[in-house]
Structure 1
Amino acid sequence: SSFETKEEQEEKMEKSEQAAAAFPPSFSVSEIKNKQRRHLMFMKFKQEKRKQKLQLKKKKKKEREALGDKAPPKEVPKTIENQRVYDETTVNPEDEEVAFDEGTDEFCSYFNGLTNPKVLITTSDRPRGRTVRFCEQLATVIPNAYVYYRRGLALKRVVPQCIARNFTYVMVVNEDRKVPNGLVLCHLPDGPTAHFKVSSVRLRKEMKRRGKEPTEHSPEVILNNFSTRLGHSIGRLFAALFPQDPQFVGRQVATFHNQRDFIFFRFHRYIFKNEKKVGIQELGPRFTLKLRSLQKGTFDSKFGEYEWVLKVSLSAVTVFFKMQEELCCLI
């Protein structure tokens, strides 16, 4: 203003320059009450951090180039997978004990080529449209699979009938509130029976950029990270669903990817674009499984012997009621 002297104006300029140099501010950005000013300060702070990060990256790159072969190895980024505690039950596929177990387990006849998979897919009583469509799409993924409606028949009565008709699997899709939420997979005639929780179901119509309908060719099967003792059993359970001789002409792949105890299922078609590039196209459906229990033998909810059951941590409410019961007993 006209009332300010030159010296005062210079002092103000110096102060503003110092304030700019002292960025980021010593106080928290969230303390600024004005929304626009707060947003501007936050964006400025973010930009400054990005600049610092880029400068550090460039500096490290120059150092690596200067050192050449003597440069230290790159740091491995921390991920959930590599930070996990090592599982003691991890097995080596070439181990003699594992090989012996594989030669004598329930799936040995399949892996020796004595039986061909034949799968019966059914649902819980009175299934809704989404569950029915899910079963029908599963039947297009698994060769030699047949969808039958349950008609209120108990699963214990279904199993002997399937054995008599030379089925090797019974797959039961359960639903809750019109959405598939569970899957029982029973290997015939001697078991085992696995119960999975089903989530994140996406049918073909719900998928973007999906490919054309899958062909009748037998797909290739990929099993990832089934490295533990339990994982080995589950991997063999999934492998025995599909024929051992995939038809490569169809270029279809069914993938079971185990990560953090969740099994992700994907179904793709691939094409070789050239010697180096491969294009993949998801066909669907896709879903996620989480193992609830593994039971010896065929399905038996009352007297079945369980090999493995998922341990569920008790909630605060359950603990409270249990404590109340114990107190009542003491009184």
Structure 2
Amino acid sequence: MGKRRREEGDGGNGPSGSRRSEEAPTIGQQTSHIKNKMVRGAKYAKLKHEKNKAKKKERAQRAAEVARAEELGLEPPPKPVPKTIENTREKDETMVQPDDAEVAADEDQDEFAEHFKRVRPPNVLITTSYKVTGVAYRFISELLEVLPCATYYKRQGYPLKKIVEYARARDFTDLMVFNEDRKQINGLLLVHLPDGPTARFRLSNLVLSDDIKGHARATSHRPELVLNNFDTRLGHRVGRMFASLFHQDPTFKGRRVVTFHNQRDFIFFRHHRYIFEEKQVKEKGKKEKATAVKARLQEIGPRFTLRLQSMQKGTFDSKGGEFEWLAKPDQDTSKRKFQL
């Protein structure tokens, strides 16, 4: 009985009690030292109930403060920001600030500078692996609608180095090679011409337009481009590589937008058509409805996810190429550290 009483105690003098004041341990950490399963379960349930009760009290208090602020015509108190993997991201030395003059100077002279200075308009060559099925042809036909400046050539057994030479000689600015395995598109090799770099991506979660419910049809207008969350030096480089595939002067009348959204080093590709329309919206505290302009999206497709595997200097070279960045298993040890 004496042992049980000690276990039922709060453990203020034990290791968990000493941590509580420093780290605010979780309920599991507070009860993990209790060996008796029934006592541990009862203690866990009690602490969980107290925690939920405290949360409910805080929510009611915040709601009362918001109501009082609205009644007095004051600004409501700020909402608490929940902790996520994104906003608790580990600091990276290569994060780029908007006013970084050094980065701007480097990018003004990099391999993509001619594209952003409108000296070389995009001219993209698309091809595949040696053996492909109908899935690849359907995907490429939809991709040609996304990239009006792209041209498809059948592989016909040529090695990649020969294709790079062919594309360079015919003034193509970029080469996209999609790999298929077991009737699934699983990789993308993106080569910027004439001098690189070369990026290799893993491609997954491909959904073609016909498999998207209520999808729209693409038009021949040049799409707008949106790049989200490419914040590091490597991320800037990848973002500029994607931007070099699209014209700098989109056709806004077409209302098409292509998005590359980076989240936790996964790059989500989406293709939408948008429209602005006026709606009557009821505002809080007012009886009359106000007119508000809202955007409505309709997905065109396709959609897929990319994951960077390597960034190589120069054009494709499987043996003697020098890598700027290469994915390694130990890079995934921390869930809050990202490369892009």
- Structure 1 residue 57, shift from structure 2 partner: 2.6
Is the Cα contact below 8 Å between 1:110 and 1:240 reproduced in 2? yes
The CA deviation at 1:73 is 3.4
Aligned residue for 1:297, secondary structure, equals: coil
Question: 120, 139, 156: which is aligned to 1:134?
Answer: 139
2:267 is matched with: 263
What does the per-residue CA deviation read over 1:121-150, in whole Å, with 9 as the maximum and x for residues that have no partner?
Answer: 110011111122112211110121111110
Give the counterpart letter for 1:272 in structure 2: F
**Structure 2 CA distance, aligned partners of 1:138 and 1:309?**
27
Is 2:153 aligned against 1:151?
no
What is the TM-score when the length of structure 2 is the normalising length?
A: 0.74
1:289 to 289, 301, 306: 306
How many residue pairs get aligned? The number is 275
Secondary structure in structure 1 of the residue aligned to 2:236 = helix
Decide which of 192, 196, 200 is 1:195's aligned counterpart.
200
Label 1:57 to 1:118 Cα distance change in 2 as closer, same or farther (>3 A): same
Counterpart position of 1:122: 127
Query: Of Structure 1 and Structure 2, which has the larger fraction of its residues in helix?
Result: 1
For 2:145, the aligned partner's letter is T
Partner of 2:237: 233
Deviation at 1:95, TM superposition (A): 1.5
Q: Could you tell me how far apart the structure 2 residues matched to 1:314 and 1:110 are?
A: 32
Query: Which residue type is aligned with residue 254 of structure 1?
Result: V
Q: Which amino acid aligns with 1:305?
A: E
Structure 2 gap ranges (5+): 1-37, 43-50, 279-291, 333-340
Shift of 1:65: 3.8
SS in structure 2 opposite 1:114? coil
Q: Write the mapping of 1:44-55 to structure 2, written as runs, cut at 5 A.
A: none
Q: Indicate if the aligned counterparts of 1:202 and 1:287 stay in contact, CA closer than 8 A.
A: yes
Q: Distance in 2 between matches of 1:236 and 1:269?
A: 23
Q: Label 1:108 to 1:50 Cα distance change in 2 as closer, same or farther (>3 A).
A: same
- Change in Cα spacing, 1:113 to 1:63, as seen in structure 2 (3 Å) is closer
Separation in structure 1 between the aligned mates of residue 131 and residue 276 of structure 2, nearest angstrom? 44
Cα RMSD (Å): 2.8
Contact 1:170 1:185 in 2 (8 A): yes
| Bigger mean CA offset, 131-140 vs 67-76 | 67-76
CA distance in 2, matches of 1:74, 1:56: 12
Contact 1:93 1:99 in 2 (8 A): no
Quick one: distance in 2 between partners of 1:71 and 1:137? 48
Matches of 2:162 and 2:247, distance apart in 1: 27
Give the greater-gyration-radius structure (CA). Answer: 1
Matched, 1:99 2:104: yes
1:62 corresponding residue in structure 2: 64
AA partner of residue 157 (structure 1): K
Q: Does 1:254 align with 2:258?
A: yes
Deviations 1:205-261 (A, max 9, x none): 1111211x2011100000001110000000100001001100001000000001100
- Whole-Å separation in 2 of the counterparts to 1:101 and 1:182: 29
Letter aligned with residue 61 of structure 1? A
